[in-house]
Structure 1
Amino acid sequence: MTFAEAQRSRREERRISPVFWVLLATLGTSGWAVATGYGSPRFGIFLFVVAGWVVSLCLHEYGHARTALHGGDISVGSKGYLTLNPLKYANVLLSFVLPLVFVILGGIGLPGGAVYIERHRINGRLKHSLISAAGPLVNVLFAAALLIPLGAGWVSSPALAAGMGFLGLLQVSAALLNLLPVPGLDGYGIVEPWLSYSTRRSLAPVAPYGMLAVFLLLWQPEVNRWFFGLVYDVMELFGADPYYAQVGNYLFRFWQS
């Protein structure tokens, strides 16, 4: 392969997918419709939240992949992870289907694992930890982009404010849950490089069930109340009233009366 061909191939590997552009267009169009009162506001909020949530999932996984690329795993480009195409990720069920089900059933934002990082290419425990931390950091930044304007009073449409509040809640809950040191979640990925080999090996079989276990735990009323109390506290740190998220959650469920 010539140098020019290599450069062209590298550009193709990092070109943003049309699928992601469609998701962004859906997010922007539904947000405009909600803000202007065009069409059904409840269905508009549903589309806005779902599109925004999937966009954040793509960015979450991109954060892992991009950090891995700089850490030494050049294979992420050939796998399509840098195109922001959700269909390129290793496990569509864990990364997109289940997180959407969690949102619809319980209003819980919980991204799953998707990108396969070739860890043997990466040297240094700190780099491994940073790769795992990159995803939750994306959710924190996404939450800030939604909640700071909301708290500052820059959103004049009450319906759009409700949608942004609920989507912001999902980002905060995703960041908090994913930082738990539970096998299968990013929080465990942050601490795993610093554990002994025997500990890592003994916990490896638990990883496929970690996300499901956390979701089932959140169905317990006392745990659920405590957790969302913490989420609301974080939202208030951004200056956003949790009331917007509660209204947004109600309007999101357009199929309920």
Structure 2
Amino acid sequence: MLDSILSMLITLPAILIGISIHEYGHALAAVALGDDTPRYQGRLTLNPFKHLDPLGFICLLTVHFGWAKPVVINPRNFKNPKRDDIIVSLAGVVMNLITAIVFILIYKIYVENFTGFLYTEIGQILRVMLFYVVRINIVLMVFNLIPLPPLDGHHILQDIGGRRVYNFYHQYSQYIRLGLILLLITGNIGRIIGPPVYGIEDLLFSIIGRL
């Protein structure tokens, strides 16, 4: 029980950083492309409490897979609605990738230059917290690229696929969302996105470790 609580507390900063960066990326891209809707709704911020979705947050905290409250946009404000919607959809995952890379660099500097402190109890907790910032950001990046509603991958595929894809999602979206929630609750989503998450994580650590 205590171990579970400690694990949640250690991963909490990573979750708050990951969802804040992800949703801020969407909001920033939308505003830059001409849609001020996120600004008016208070989403152009790194404040995590503006982005929390209760169920998604609980899933992230317990099974390390989840989501934040989607940033609402109005594609009619874009000069090129389909292209710009794809850019906005990708902005969140790109921000997660950049954040993962930055924290791998911080992790590398920490373990190579603070060896005395590293092997203290607090030092080990800090090391794990830094690692989880990397892990959670990669999880959010991969998870959000799944082409299922309400995830970013669904918006991207819908913009590329046109009316036929839109009609399919519109007809079956409730069933797809229910299936996605069941995968999250049962933890089976890890079997789907685990391999790419660990693969990307290993690749980034390997590349940055050579610097």
| Shorter-chain TM-score range | 0.7 to 0.9
One-letter amino acid of the structure 1 residue matched with residue 125 of structure 2: A
Between the aligned partners of 2:48 and 2:161, the Cα distance in structure 1 is 31
Give 2:76's aligned residue: 120
Q: Which residue of 2 aligns with 1:192?
A: 158
Work out the CA distance in 2 between the residues paired with 1:193 and 1:206: 17
Q: Which runs of 5+ in 2 are unaligned?
A: 207-211
* Match for residue 58 of structure 1 among 15, 20, 24: 20
Q: Distance in 2 between matches of 1:87 and 1:151?
A: 29
5 Å-filtered alignment, 1:158-173, equals: 158-173=124-139
Which residue of 2 is the match for residue 75 of structure 1? 37
Size of the aligned set, in residue pairs, is 194
Question: What percent of counterpart residues are identical?
Answer: 22
What secondary structure is seen at the aligned counterpart in 2 of 1:83? Answer: coil
Question: In 1, are the aligned partners of 2:147 and 2:157 still within 8 Å (CA)?
Answer: yes
Structure 2 residue identity aligned to 1:139: N
The Cα shift of 1:44 comes to 6.9
How far, CA to CA, are the matches of 2:24 and 2:14 in structure 1?
15
Q: CA RMSD for the aligned pairs? A: 3.0
Name 2:96's counterpart in structure 1.
139
In the TM superposition, residue 229 of structure 1 has moved relative to its aligned partner by 3.4
Alpha-carbon shift at residue 191 of structure 1 (Å)? 2.3
Following superposition of structure 1 onto structure 2, how do residues 1-257 of structure 1 map, counting pairs within 5 Å? 46-88=8-50, 95-108=52-65, 110-124=66-80, 125-151=82-108, 153-154=111-112, 156=118, 157-207=123-173, 210=176, 213-217=179-183, 219=186, 224-225=190-191, 227-239=193-205
> Could you tell me whether the CA contact under 8 Å between 2:135 and 2:201 is conserved in 1?
yes
Gaps of 5+ in 1: 1-39, 90-94, 241-257
Deviation at 1:176, TM superposition (A): 0.6
- Distance in 2 between residues matched to 1:41 and 1:199, nearest whole Å: 45
Tell me which residue corresponds to 2:209.
none
Q: Which has the larger radius of gyration?
A: 1
Question: Structure 2 length normalisation: TM-score?
Answer: 0.76
TM-score normalised per structure 1: 0.64
Give the whole-Å Cα distance in 2 for the aligned partners of 1:107 and 1:87: 18
